[in-house]
Amino acid sequence: MADVDSRTGGHRSRNTRRQHHDDLPSSRHDRDADDDASASSWQQEVDSICTGTHPQLVAELAKHKKVLQHTIAQAERTRHNQQQNIRNLFECDKKQIEDEHRVRIA
């Protein structure tokens, strides 16, 4: 059992290119530089999101605002129609009562 590694609890060890290159000091330096650059870019992205200047965020918020305004306008139209229906029903009932009253008096 030459493939068994005692450090892994008896399981087969699998070396990858990354594990092999991680031991080199130059690769650690490159990886640290990449981490710093990506951390900086992430920080810039977070800052632009917080200030509201992130281009994708602005575009998505504009879409959301348009949909929201459309939904609100539709709700306002429905509200207006329902109120008008109630007024019309009131006027109809009022006229019916007045007509019945005239018939009783006559």
Q: What is the model's pTM? A: 0.51
Domain boundary assignment for the chain: 14-53, 55-106
Beta bridge partners of 10: none
**pLDDT at position 19:** 54
d(CA 33, CA 29): 6
State how far the alpha carbon of 97 is from the alpha carbons of 54, 85, 86, in Å.
63, 18, 16
Q: What is the pLDDT along the chain (106 residues), one digit of tens a residue?
A: 455 555 555 555 555 555 554 455 555 555 555 677 788 889 999 999 999 899 999 999 999 999 999 999 999 999 999 999 999 999 999 999 999 999 999 7
- Residue 68 CB contacts under 8 Å (≥ 6 apart), including other chains: none
